[in-house]
Structure 1
């Protein structure tokens, strides 16, 4: 009897089928299960549901007769229909819920995780060597580059510095609506996408499954072939211009120089090693500057690896951390991606990007969406769930450390040393959003007071006692004493409540 190996919907690349437990890839049957229960439990972005289902069905088509494709209400039901109680192998899944499910299934053998550069045991050994110090991203990044020989010159980092982030914080070029980078790779749809869209329409109509956001045309790779084409296009045409403006935002250019490869990495269509090695090869060949290559490599083998391991290292309790005691509900206009209800140009623009595509790059996520949620005091667990559901590259392991740790500071400084929020001045400096907006970034009171400026100072005052002892925040807190209109600012923030800015 041929061995059966289960491929979850984010384990779709060849590195998950290159070797098979109990057999060779050639004689293994590959099981993929569509579970409607996943879509019933949460209101996912429609484009995300489309992408995942399209990717799974494309993978099944690639595997041909070796694929066992089951459409079921639950994973448990699908597994029983496909294999009964026969043994099944699977690689370590990417969520705690999936791992708990596998632990309850006696016929399933779980093998080590794939799709990451640093294994669980290697990370545990590294963490133990930190001798009680904070587990810093920059230290894991250095370890990963050393242990894998990534962007190294002899025993040191290429160019003499591990991190070139200082070179990658340029504001957008003034007077231009776009960065001017070559257009990103976009795939074409096929008959599988047509089938997925018909199924989603029917489930909405007949099965009570609902979504947020808009679907179509599909903008992100759903097959290995498309993912490789996207990687090659980025390295060849876009990586050179990525670095300097990595943190910049333009209303007319939501993609800027970014790779758009996160969804392909998180579906397992690409392996991180091939991404970082291609970027390094491009730099060594003289095709891209070092700051662009290093900035991209740091995203893949620095922050992505760090977030993955924090998710498992800190345990389930991390999900419930709420150091700032924020409990306000996420308002309906935000939950429904109702960008048209928002007057503030930055938030309306970014919310519309999420509504229309299920994606925006890391700075709008952090400094527009996340910052607003933090200033308003929304429940970090609800904010995490929103990011998980509404982004095509969002998974539990991705969003939990990113939102609880970095965006909402709900872990009290485990992942970051300061909260990532700002007044309107930062958004004005790093974007063109403020031009034509009803609000003014420098104004704190009155009809034209910027919601982010009002929110920032109110947030600092609300948690003043915490920030006074934070070396990276004490100077900002000191500025509160120089605001003669602070009481008006706080009242304006209070009056805003849950209404869209």
Structure 2
């Protein structure tokens, strides 16, 4: 009699809770590439290739550690096409006494798993995912009774709990947050170190061929695939980031450069979210760099905040809010995504650059996502669910638990302020200040109206004007509304006509 241990494609961690107490001689680990997961949205080709290759390498790692692994490839003729189908097939083939799995990261998969005990007529043990630092129950206790679920206060609790950058009960440096030091534009630098990339081995080469054959119409390109697909290589990426990029990460973390898509960012989210790297260990490595005087406090604090602050907070919000969160639509927006979100073909240079980089890399950093593609979608009134699906499809680090609250709550303010304190709406001035995109754009970021006026400018004021009834009580928008009110009626009409003309032509 054996136990079946199912490991999902984003649980590639030897310490995953489903392996606790496993009998390596008798228990069987099941890993499966299934079409239902590969197609529930149209994932970027590089995202599929990364996950499939990392899964296959992890299966080898488990086998070398003495586990019995049953692995189903996407091309296997007997592949049942779903987690439920593959678990049933394993049950039929093996003498099993139970099924064990670590909880999935998405509501829809959890609901599927909850049916297994009845359909399989076997005990099914769904265990907590210990890779996260805050359990569902702990987040619920933190959120209980609060009028506002402000991330900053959650983050401070996580600092106290982990002890990261703490001196007793006080934060190192006397401040919890050094974000005001991290808003500088960046300059092109030919001497900037290059991020690690890895030539595909045979496993990855086989996967690339399969993805191209099975998913030829999916978003993105496979050329130039260079992801780490093993734990060892992911650890090398972490080491390179700490050595070469962390010191400069903070001050340029909000900057954007046309010919330098990665700047000083870590490129670690792929590996943390898939399980190849441990989130707390990554934070400890960054903290050690500060303690050893290899990186300044603003860089290290900002980096750690992204992980134990935003990442943990987003997961907490996802599970606390429930599946209905995906239907949030505070502004009642219904516009479909413009075609250029798939092609990158637009005269707006900032959007063209970011979308084309996404096509190539399956990646854009957080400000590109929030203040370029997300900001535009918010200003023109795109259906937030359509925005959510697009983000889930195009980024290799996107899983619903982290992507949905980031997009619906933060980027699109579709929850009306449950997560964020104000909409992240901005005009062309912000993009011009934080990037070099505007210098080669046909639109002028300093103009509100006219043929060459930056569309973001009129759209920004139009967004505020048409949503005034919903937003006028927001204290953080008092200054922009005061500025709008000081404009004469002729200027206001001209701006709104400019926005209406743009929106009428948007397809």
Please indicate the TM-score interval, normalised by the length of the shorter structure: over 0.9
- SS, match of residue 72 in structure 2: strand
1:332-376 Cα distance to aligned partner (Å, 9 max, x none): 221x2x11x211111110111111111010001000000000011
Partner of 2:126: 110
Residue 192 of structure 1: aligned partner: 203
Distance 1:138 1:30 in 2: 40
Instruction: Give CA deviations for 1:303-343 in whole Å, capped at 9, x if unaligned.
Output: 00000000000111211111111111112221x2x11x211
Q: Is the 8 A contact 2:165 2:171 kept in 1?
A: yes
SS at match of 1:422: coil
Residue 220 of structure 2 corresponds to residue 213 of structure 1: yes
1:179·1:256 contact (CA, 8 Å) conserved in 2?
Answer: no
- The Cα of 1:468 is off from its aligned counterpart by 2.2
Determine whether 1:350 maps to 2:354: yes
Query: Which stretch has the larger CA shift, 232-241 or 356-365?
Result: 232-241
1:77-476 alignment runs, 5 A limit: 77-84=85-92, 86-106=97-117, 107=122, 108-128=124-144, 131-173=145-187, 177-178=188-189, 180-204=191-215, 210-334=217-341, 336=342, 338-339=343-344, 341-476=345-480
Structure 2 vs 1, CA of residues 312 and 179 (structure 1 numbering), >3 Å: closer, same or farther?
farther
With normalisation by structure 1, the TM-score equals: 0.94
Alpha-carbon shift at residue 226 of structure 1 (Å): 1.3
Contact persistence 1:445–1:492 (CA under 8 A): yes
Q: CA deviation at 1:219?
A: 2.9
- Secondary structure of the corresponding residue to residue 435 of structure 1: helix
* Cα gap change, 1:189 to 1:369, in 2 (>3 Å): same
- Which residue is equivalent to 1:12? 12
Q: Distance in 2 between matches of 1:135 and 1:481?
A: 31
1:499 CA drift (Å): 4.9
The structural deviation recorded for 1:119 is 1.7
C-alpha RMSD over aligned residues: 1.8
Cα distance in 2 for residues equivalent to 1:26 and 1:126: 42
Distance 2:214 2:315 in 1: 32
Q: Is the 8 A contact 1:219 1:357 kept in 2?
A: no
CA contact (8 A) 2:177 2:301 kept: yes
Cα distance in structure 2, aligned partners of 1:29 and 1:230: 31
Answer whether contact 1:347 1:369 (CA < 8 A) is retained.
Answer: yes
2:470 aligned counterpart, secondary structure: helix
**Structure 2 match to 1:489:** 495
Task: Report what 1:70 is aligned to.
Answer: 72
TM-score (normalised: structure 2): 0.93
Identify the range of structure 1 (245-254 vs 115-124) with the bigger mean alpha-carbon deviation: 115-124
- Matched residue of 2:440: which SS? coil
Answer with 4-13 or 490-499: which moved more: 490-499
More moved, 290-299 vs 196-205: 196-205
Q: Secondary structure at the match of 1:494?
A: helix
Q: CA deviation at 1:117?
A: 1.1
Shift of 1:26: 6.6
Report the more deviating stretch, 82-91 or 255-264: 82-91
Contact 2:2/2:97, CA 8 A, preserved across alignment: no
The residue number in structure 2 matching 1:54 is: 53
Residue 25 of structure 1: CA displacement?
Answer: 5.6
In structure 1, stretches of 5+ residues that fail to align are none
